[in-house]
Structure 1
Amino acid sequence: MSVSAAIYGLSGPELDANEKAFFRDAAPWGFILFARNVESPKQLARLCVALRDAVGRDAPVFIDQEGGRVQRLKPPTWRQAPPAGEFGALYARDREAGLEAVRLNHRLIAHELRASGIDADCAPCLDLQIDGADAIIGDRSYGTDPDVIAALGRAAMDGLHAGGVASVIKHIPGHGRADADSHLALPRVDTPRETLEATDFAPFRALNDAPMAMTAHVVYADIDPDDPATLSSEMIASVIRGSIGYDGLVMTDDLSMKALSGTLSSRAERALGAGCDMVLHCNGVRREMIELADIIPTLSGDPLRRADAAAAVRRTPETFDAKAGLARLEELMSAVS
């Protein structure tokens, strides 16, 4: 069965007939959900079944469930998970407690996602927290120390994988220094490469065995002064595949973000031509997805190998007592409340 190198969003909480027909024909590798797609646990579970039925296979279903400000499954129906910055604060007090708390939190996230049929999470965020940078990252980061971010990111990834949820590290090779929100404008980082290699890029290098990574729509001027990482063959070959040593699946951040210019099809062609394995389109606008479907290739070669390896992470979850896990997490986090 041929599968296209795309992950698509959808418009609402139910899959309508036109969307179902489009997904059947376009055969995207996976889907991504947002708050507009979520009403209740039962509705969400039905939607995940309908998406997989539309393509006739066990397609990965993604969501952004970091905790803090970036959490698509929200209270009061779902638990409010702490932001990454709180785990960084706990780690500063007690290293082992911080690691245990992060792993437990992400094991709980995996438990919550799997209960509704979601099996891939766009987390953890491995970006540094940088004074003076745009606030888009902020407390989504575990802190300012690359070694701490790597340690906590590893614990988060382990928690998700233990729960049968595939992780996506982001935003490779590092969004923390960005001077703008890439949803709204194209950020530029003028920091020398030598500094970036030792700081921003370091957590990604430490977790270069992650199954998936999402690119940063950021220009790193000392390496490629013209194109953001998503569209830059120099950034992908020299930094992401090169100095970081990442051989997992590289997906774009959302192609519809304002950091990128040109038509959607040209953005996709440039991203794939630069070395991305997979394009991500999130807003659920069908005419835009139709435009993309006309030019996105089927998965083959290394991209297919990487996609298959990432999908295999969605194994049967390890035995887990969620009630006891939550109680222990709350006990650990009380030290920073």
Structure 2
Amino acid sequence: MISASDARAVILGCSGTSLTPEETAFFSEVRPWGFILFKRNIGTPDEVRALTAALRDTVGRPDAPILIDQEGGRVQRMGPPHWPKYPSGRRVGALPLDLARLGARLMAHDLAEVGITVDCAPMLDVPVAGSDDIVGDRALGTDPEAVIATGRAVAEGLMAGGVLPVIKHMPGHGRATCDSHLALPEVAADRESLAQSDFRPFRALADLPLAMSAHVVFTAIDPERPATLSPTVIREIVRGEIGFDGLLMTDDLSMHALQGPFRARAEAAFTAGIDIVLHCNGRMEEMREIVEAAPLLAGDPARRAQAALARLSTPAPFDVAEARARFEAAWMTVA
């Protein structure tokens, strides 16, 4: 079990391809549970390996999770020339399940080789007509059952490669009519419609170890607060109706869907029932505010964090060249 002295309930970003002295000192002091990388942090494979090792050194935990958003398509932080291009969720959803699983297994190989152990994928959001393109072709499909099947295959492929999946954005971002990076989406669908479509993929994959919340207001459930900050959504829907008992992290607290001081954002998330808050942009002044509100891991969040890390496994032998040739031949033909 993770003890109170081991980790703080926060995941943080950094500013570049190597740590600054200020970042090294800060991370060593506050001991975040994990870190997240973005394109600004990605240099050569050797540079990424050095960065992931340095991040873990700051907290003194060789198993400290390091996350990345590596979906494929528009959202791929590691890409050419050092890593291959991967297909969008829409293209993955059009593949046979064994090939969707294979693509995720290859992606996990790329990540694990440079010390990344958590991928913020698969996206289980189910888009509808008229929704914002922030989901768009990132979605694995427009039918909940198809999203469930492909989402499961992607998660299995990642885990077979020694990388934990994060299902997102719980309990569903597919109906949002604006980009939560820029503004706060409101979804007016009734609760029955949400249960029949939006919540279904998350309910079906609730056994997976990690999930990310949605910065979306569901007016039929809590008209005042986005899911990330809503005790009603987190407790009644995520933990109750969906039945998710894994580690629940926020989407990025620096997104413009949320307003107010960063400490207040983090406090509201923890009050709502979030286990760990996520801050991505690497801005030191914002991170300092957030960690003021972030407790040390204890109780159920510590149990869930430990259970998630226990799901990491050593990959079985894998013919990467053969698998990559087979996967690329398949997905390049999918429109």
Q: What TM-score, normalized by structure 2, do the two folds share?
A: 0.97
Correspondence for 2:204: 206
**Residue 9 of structure 2: SS of its match in structure 1?**
strand
The AA in structure 2 aligned to 1:33 is L
Distance across 1 between alignment mates of 2:80 and 2:6: 39
* Aligned counterpart, 2:52: 48
RMSD: 0.9
Classify the secondary structure of the residue corresponding to 1:294: helix
Aligned: 1:142 with 2:102: no
The C-alpha deviation readout for 1:151-185, integer Å capped at 9, x for no partner, is: 00000000000011011000000100001100000
Matched, 1:291 2:296: no
Counterpart pick for 1:14 among 6, 11, 18 = 18
Distance, in Å, in 2 between the alignment partners of 1:19 and 1:191 is: 43
Corresponding position of 1:94: none
Question: For residue 274 of structure 1, what is the aligned residue in structure 2?
Answer: 272
- Letter paired with 1:82: P
Are 1:213 and 1:248, in contact at CA under 8 Å, matched by a contact in 2? yes
Instruction: Report the AA paired with residue 6 of structure 2.
Output: S
The aligned residue for residue 180 of structure 1 is 178
- Give the Cα–Cα distance (whole angstroms) in 1 for the partners of residues 115 and 282 of structure 2: 19
* Structure 1 Cα separation of the partners of residues 242 and 103 of structure 2: 27
In structure 2, how many angstroms separate the alpha carbons of the residues matched to 1:167 and 1:293? 25
Give the Cα–Cα distance (whole angstroms) in 2 for the partners of residues 43 and 251 of structure 1: 27
- 5+ residue gaps, structure 1, are 91-97
Partner of 1:169 in structure 2? 167
CA contact under 8 A between 2:221 and 2:233: conserved in structure 1?
yes
| Aligned 8 A contact 1:256 1:283 in 2 | yes
- CA positional deviation for 1:295: 2.0
Once residues 88 and 44 of structure 1 are traced to their aligned partners in structure 2, the CA distance between those partners, rounded to angstroms, is 30
Question: In the TM superposition, what whole-angstrom CA distance separates every residue of 1:99-142 from its partner, at most 9, and x where no partner exists?
Answer: 01110010000000011111100000000121110000001101
- Name the SS for the 1:7 alignment partner: strand
The residue aligned with 1:93 is none
Do 2:93 and 2:100's aligned partners in 1 also have CA atoms closer than 8 Å? Answer: no
CA distance in 1, matches of 2:288, 2:334: 48
Q: Which residue of 66, 76, 88 corresponds with 1:83?
A: 88
- Cross-structure match for 1:133: 131
Q: Distance in 1 between matches of 2:238 and 2:316?
A: 31
Aligned structure 1 segments of 4 or more residues deviating by more than 6 angstroms: none
| Partners of 1:48 and 1:117 within 8 A in 2 | yes
Query: What corresponds to 1:190 in structure 2?
Result: 188
Mapped contact 2:170–2:211 kept (Cα < 8 A): yes
Match of 1:233 among 231, 234, 237: 231
Q: Paired residue for 1:324?
A: 322
Structure 1 CA distance for aligned equivalents of residues 310 and 36 of structure 2? 18
Conserved in 2, the CA contact under 8 Å of 1:29 and 1:60? yes
Output the CA distance in 1 between the equivalents of 2:293 and 2:93. 42
Deviation for aligned residue 1:334:
4.6
Determine the structure 1 residue equivalent to 2:108: 110
Contact 2:180 2:257 in 1 (8 A): yes
Correspondent of 2:72 among 67, 73, 97:
67
Give SS of 1:213's match.
strand
Q: Aligned AA for 1:328?
A: R
Aligned residues: 330
The CA distance in 2 between the partners of 1:152 and 1:25, in whole Å, is 41
TM-superposed CA distance for 1:333, in Å, is 2.3
Distance in 1 separating the partners of 2:132 and 2:332: 29
Deviates more, 1:32-41 or 1:324-333: 324-333
**2:273 maps to amino acid:** G
* Equivalent of 1:258 in 235, 252, 256: 256
For residues 243 and 300 of structure 1, the distance between their equivalents in structure 2, rounded to whole angstroms, comes to 25
Matched with 1:33 is 37
CA contact (8 A) 1:127 1:175 kept: yes
Give how far 1:309 is off. 1.1
Q: Distance in 1 between matches of 2:170 and 2:206?
A: 10
Q: In structure 1, what residue type is equivalent to 2:195?
A: E
Q: Shift of the alpha carbon at 1:335? A: 4.3
Q: Percent identity?
A: 55
Which amino acid in 2 is paired with 1:314?
L
